[in-house]
Amino acid sequence: MTVLSDSLHLHPDQLGSYWMPFTANRQFKAAPRMVARAEGMHYWTPEGRRILDGFAGLWCCNAGHNRKPVVEAIQRQAATMDYAPAFQMGHPLAFELANRIARLAPEGMDHVFFCNSGSEAVDTALKIALAYQRLRGEASRTRLIGRERGYHGVGFGGISVGGMVANRKMFGAMIAGVDHLPHTLDLRHMAYSRGEPDWGAHLADELERLVQLHDASTIAAVIVEPMAGSTGVIVPPRGYLQRLREITRKHGILLIFDEVITAFGRLGTGFAAERYGVVPDLITFAKGVTSGAVPMGGVVASNAIHDAFMVGPPGAIELFHGYTYSAHVLACAAGVATLQLYEDEGLFERAARMAPVLEDALHALKGTRHVIDIRNCGLVGAVELEPRPGAPGARTFDAYLGCWEKGVLVRQAGDIVCLAPALIVEEAQIAEMADTLRAVLQTID
């Protein structure tokens, strides 16, 4: 075991200043879990212990860690130009990356607006949707429809349309006029489904009920994750997304796919829209566009939406929205290199080939102690555990810690253990993840 530099070892007194996100800070700082180096499918702790990354960082390092083409592209760009203004100016890499993303997107979605994260992408998409309805003479369409257990980032727009209670309850009324579809997970009908469940497409018809309640003339857009990831992997029932598309189109409502997790190969295709054969009006993306190397997000818009803004005097600003770091030069360099790497190594196709391997490995855990459901979609899997009475999430956190101690990083989402390895994962590494989880579950109460 190689011990890394002493500079990477922090004294407990040095841990207080950093207020960590989505973390039990006091618990973590009492027993920190630190990583200091990464390459390929692995992290290393400051002590030199190797950790197999079963979660692609945080759903984002789809090409693996510290891939040489991406690292070198960032280094070259940092040495050439560190920053370019995003307003009233441009740089070539922004246009190159937008063109590459548009080629991956469904036909008729040729325009890309850049931001810096999934949260910003969602708020951007919601603003575009509201503005578009106003531009086409439907200013009364201000209502937004999300879905229970949905995760759309942490901006006020995202938590308003999102449906994860803990993310919402501390922050007041948020955006007015938001309603929610029911989520699509019902273990009575779909436990241990492989891929898309056969039951549940009818749940899309709940949108018709909301249309009757609010009237279509008040609804601007519906936003859903094609596969809901952060809530613990909720896979869409067969036909569900197609039915949502039919209903939204019928009533003049925009359909937004939040593909921050599902884009760039996670489900075996460039976008989940391709996998499911459903073309939405707007797609949000982030995470995998740079394989996590530099923060970046964005929105892909249909030609009809984009063109609706391109009216009035040519010198007029069409959309009063953007960020200081929109299309940041380092992020664009990382994005171009990442998309080229996906293409050169056929990683989307590789993910599709490896998906059945992950499916079989995880479903072989059926019958393991505490397991009440297993589900999967593309290169994503979830193992749901029976919660301890009166202590939701506690058993799963113990499983997470047990896997960490045995050298495998998984993700806890409530009472669900999630796996989403990089697209470069090998069969033996998938087996190691599943075997480690099985061994840990046998040892915890």
Q: What is the pTM of this model?
A: 0.96
Collapsing DSSP to helix, strand or coil, 401 comes out as helix
Closest CA to 121 of 154, 163, 94, 88: 154
Which structure tokens are listed for 166? 């803990």
CA atoms within 13 A on the CB side of 175: 22
Q: Two tokens at 42?
A: 């692995």
CA-CA distance, 101 to 177, in Å (whole number)?
33
Helical ranges in 215-321 per DSSP H: 240-250, 272-276, 303-309
List per-residue pLDDT tens for the chain, 445 residues long.
Answer: 554 555 567 888 899 999 999 999 999 999 999 999 999 999 999 999 999 999 999 999 999 999 999 999 999 999 999 999 999 999 999 999 999 999 999 999 999 999 999 999 999 999 999 999 999 999 999 999 999 999 999 999 999 999 999 999 999 988 999 999 999 999 999 999 999 999 999 999 999 999 999 999 999 999 999 999 999 999 999 999 999 999 999 999 999 999 999 999 999 999 999 999 999 999 999 999 999 999 999 999 999 999 999 999 999 999 999 999 999 999 999 999 999 999 999 999 999 999 999 999 999 999 999 999 999 999 999 999 999 999 999 999 999 999 999 999 999 999 999 999 999 999 999 999 999 999 999 999 9
Domains parsed from the chain with CATH numbers: 6-63+346-441 (3.90.1150.10), 71-344 (3.40.640.10)
The closest alpha carbon to 261, from 168, 377, 360, 362, belongs to: 377
